[in-house]
Amino acid sequence: MVNSLNKKDFLDNTIKQLKDTVELLKLEAWIFDFLKEPKTSLIVSIPVKMDDGSIKIFQGFRVQHSNARGPYKGGIRYSPEVTLEEIKALAMLMTWKCAVIDIPFGGAKGGVICDTKNMSLGEKERLTRRYTNAIFNLIGPYVDIPGPDMYTDPQTMAWVMDTYSQIKGYAVPEIVTGKPVSLGGSEGRLMATSRGVSICVREATNLLNIPLRDAEVVIQGFGNVGSFTAHLLKNMGCKIIAVSDSKGGVLNRKGLDIFKLSEYKLKNGTVVGFDGESISNKELLQLECDILIPAALEGSIGKEEAPFVKAKIIVEGANGPLTAEADEILKANKVFIVPDILANSGGVLVSYLEWVQNLNREHWSEEEVNSKLEIKMVKAFKEVLKLSQEKGETLRRAALSLGIKRVAEAIKVRGIWP
């Protein structure tokens, strides 16, 4: 996968966004100093007994950025590329995301440096349980609620919940979100991020008078977010002409059969080789289309790729897929961008709904969950759009302004104590 952004640059870019927004809003300078560093950063050593009897030591992180508006909330990712800088940046973005969608959470993030593609199910379970034990004193249903992220899933969250519950001595389903439905997970959670992205696509095309039916869509990344977004947009009448994963992409100008493509990816581990024209990730980003959805890694579109992007609309399914330089280039080229802290906030929104259900020992229907998601996403989109139009700013600047202003207000109202 193309990745133009190293993890330190990603953090520096995220901090620069905060600084620029604080200055734009004319907030007190100490607000920037207060928010540029997370409240807590924990580094843990995780010994795990492997299947061959050897002991391997993994390194893990949990970063809590801000709890000014409520408990910390953020996923756990497993990847060989995880760094503390990346986790800090993602925790900060989660703070803004929760504020933009207007739910009472603050931002956090966790991660473990590991390659789950070369680990057995038993090894992943032992890793997850040891990691949960290591961060046990930092998390809690009213303190910090983890969820799934890259290379973690409902099974991973089930292990986290069970480990925490075993230590506490009773079931605590509200300690994590993204669980299997059988353990108190919410209906609609699996597709929530993609549903939010799809709603933003619909709202953006309506705004720009681009017919949704037969709108040509290109999706970079065919994991959970990318694949579910493809299915949802296909059902809304869009034509998915190209998708990619870390190994490459496939193009069909007549439209890909997304159902068959998903089956092919499940069987072969990649979209490469599916019926159509094989293309690289670089070529995928340069395709003429109505909508481009980067749903892969942060920094996947940099200053080298941005000048060649021909999409009319970009809706960010991934966190931080555009570098700061790419953002400026695309702005100058009149590309309409729906930023990550708005576009992919459907996941954390339904995580919040799952948490509420767990606290009250309730279980809502998928229709009820999706209805609440629709209402919240449309409201947030309209609020960001209105601010953008009033201030003559991009949607990204408007979304950051809305989110950071709400967090700053909470900090000032609460005060600094002791």
CB 26 within 8 A of CB 322: no
Kindly report, residue by residue over 237-272, the tens digit of the pLDDT: 999 999 999 899 999 999 999 999 999 999 999 999
The whole-number average pLDDT for the span 219-224 is 94
Token pair of 1, please?
A: 């996968």
CA angle (362 as vertex; 361, 366 as ends), nearest 5: 145
pLDDT category at 51 given cuts 50, 70, 90 is very high
Cβ neighbours for 63, distance < 8 A, ≥ 6 positions apart:
38, 40, 41, 42, 74, 84, 87, 88, 91, 108, 109, 110
321 contacts 340 by C-beta, under 8 angstroms: yes
Q: Which of 169, 175, 215, 221 is nearest to 194 (CA)?
A: 221
The reported pLDDT for the residue numbered 5 is 52
Q: What is the CA radius of gyration of the chain?
A: 20
Give me the count of residues in the chain. 418
Average pLDDT over residues 79-106: 97
Q: What is the pLDDT of residues 128-159, one digit of tens each?
A: 999 999 999 999 999 999 999 989 999 999 99
**Phi and psi for 252 in degrees, rounded to 5?**
-145, 105
| Alpha-carbon gap, residue 413 to 6, rounded angstroms | 36
pTM value?
0.94
Tell me what pLDDT residue 418 has.
86
Q: Which helix (H) or strand (E) is 45 found in, with range?
A: strand 40-49
**106 phi, psi to nearest 5 deg:** -115, 180
Tokens of 418: 């002791």
Return the active site residues: 109
List Cβ neighbours of 359 (8 Å cut-off, separation of 6 or more): 141, 174
Edge-to-edge strand list for the sheet holding 144-148:
40-49, 55-64, 106-113, 72-79, 144-148
Please determine, for residue 214, whether its predicted confidence score (pLDDT) is greater than 50.
yes
Is the model's pLDDT at 3 over the cut of 70? no
Task: State the Cα–Cα distance between residues 72 and 188, nearest whole angstrom.
Answer: 22
Domains in the chain with CATH codes: 39-175 (3.40.50.10860), 192-343 (3.40.50.720)
For residue 215, the number of C-alpha atoms closer than 13 Å in the C-beta half-sphere is: 29
Q: By C-alpha distance, which of 322, 396, 380 is closest to 346?
A: 380
- pLDDT at site 298: 85
Given a cut of 80, is residue 2 above it in pLDDT? no
Give yes or no for a cis peptide into 38 (omega within 30° of 0).
Answer: no
CA distances from 104 to 34, 67, 109, 157, 376 (A): 19, 9, 16, 21, 13
* Residue of 150, 181, 151, 179 whose CA lies nearest to 164: 179
